[in-house]
Amino acid sequence: MSELAGKVCLVTGGAGHIGRAICQVLLDEGAEVVAVGRRAPSEPITSNAASASFYAADIRDPNASQGLIEHIATQYGRLDILINNAGGGPPVVAADASAELTRKIVALNLIAPMVLSQQAYGLLMQSSDTASIINIASVSGARPSPGTAAYGAAKAGLLNLTKSLAMEWGPHIRVNALIVGLVHNDAGMSHYGGEEGFKRVAEMLPLKRMASPRDVANAVMLLCSTRASYISGANLEVDGGGEVPVFLHLASESSKAK
């Protein structure tokens, strides 16, 4: 029997590159998956003949996210796993960022997952096993984030929230986060300068490649697993070994140029 058979999982941002991969891994393990996003995906989210259901909602609106939880309660009668994956924000230097843009970025990356977790608390507490919340954070929240200051600050807050909720809601709910590093996907094509840019960045990572959405999804599955039953309040780095300091590359290039 698949490990998550009979479990109900909610994945925000489920139609995106990483969200879709997370949904597919959960489907492979027998879970009932509800994907959430502002717009329905162009193609159904499926894996091995199983399909995720889709619920359209802007989770920045607490009324919309409350409606989502009520839908799950009515449709499934339970919730076992919540994946707070929705996030992101455009690059903008801090001096030029409007107050409204800053508010929207923080709302999506910190306030929405916090409020949704609070709204899901009652259902998660009814799970027949220990329930699980996994927050998808970023290396931007664990290091300086020039050009995306609001995003980095929000993700830093999400990492702190993870540890706080783990303390408040144990032993019935485990709460963990992934500190996700650089991910190779179509969404980042222009940001990194195309495939050549991806290759150059990958060379600066210890594993010599950027993460795939599936790598992130596999880490989610690890934290969902009963093998992680004593892991809570953890901020697990999924970054291929970390970003090598740029000064080392600059020094190396300078040495070769002599």
Catalytic positions: 151
Calculate ∠ Cα 213-155-67, nearest 5°: 80
CA pair distance 115, 161, nearest whole angstrom = 11
Query: For 188, left (φ over 0), alpha (ψ -120 to 50), or beta?
Result: alpha
| Beta-sheet pairing, 46-47 with 50-51 | antiparallel
Distance CA 228, CA 224 (A): 7
C-alpha separations of 176 from 23, 30, 112, 223 in Å: 18, 21, 16, 7
Q: Rounded to the nearest 5 degrees, what angle is found at the Cα of 207, between the Cα atoms of 204 and 210?
A: 70
Angle at 195 between CA 220 and CA 28, to 5 degrees: 25
Q: Comparing C-alpha atoms, which of 105, 170, 179 is closest to residue 133?
A: 170
Q: Mutual orientation of helices 99-106 and 149-169 as an angle, nearest 10°? A: 30
- How far apart, in Å, are the Cα atoms of 142 and each of 41, 158, 178? 31, 10, 11
Please report, for the chain, how many H helices and E strands are present, in that order.
9, 9
